[in-house]
Amino acid sequence: MPLSPATRDRLMAGVAQLIRAGRHLSSRAATQLHGDLPSFGWALLLPLERDGDLRCSALAAHAGVDGSVASRQLTALERSGHVERQPDPRDGRAVLFRLTGRGADALATSRALRSAWARTALADWDDDDAERLAGLLERLVADVDVTGVPRPEPAGAAR
């Protein structure tokens, strides 16, 4: 059965509030949550930790940003010692980015800080509720990824 307009609006308002809360938390606690890792670093370093050396284009896709944005951010991460460049052995014209020891340490520190924050924020949650929400969030993210950018409804269209 399709969602009612009221339920859909409530859900989307809740998602918007969650995004705002996340942004507020990130700006308020950037140093505490990221340490010396720039706030954008997490999205670029995590795929390197998980998948190994990657091209800028692959990292941009993982982070959901334009290639030029990822390139600027990777340059900053390289200057700070979190990543290093190396030639792609399969294509000498291309560059791969590799996570450095400093980058791995920054991820570990950030992960520990995030975990401590989550333990406090979720102290009154039981595992069943947290599992249910995690599953629903994963489903929502997957559905949003498949749907893409919504097209505006014509003025006066039924909801």
Range with the poorest average pLDDT among 6-10, 114-118, 143-147: 143-147
pTM for the full model? 0.70
Strands (E) located in the chain: 83-88, 91-99
Report phi then psi at 92, rounded to 5.
Answer: -60, -20
Tell me the Cα Rg of the chain.
19
40 pLDDT tier (thresholds 50, 70, 90): confident
The pLDDT of residue 146 is 76
Is residue 97 within 8 A of residue 84, CB to CB? The reply is yes
| Residue 76 pLDDT greater than 60, yes or no | yes
- Between CA 134 and CA 26 the distance in angstroms is 20
Domains and CATH numbers, the chain: 26-146 (1.10.10.10)
| Residue 23 pLDDT greater than 80, yes or no | no
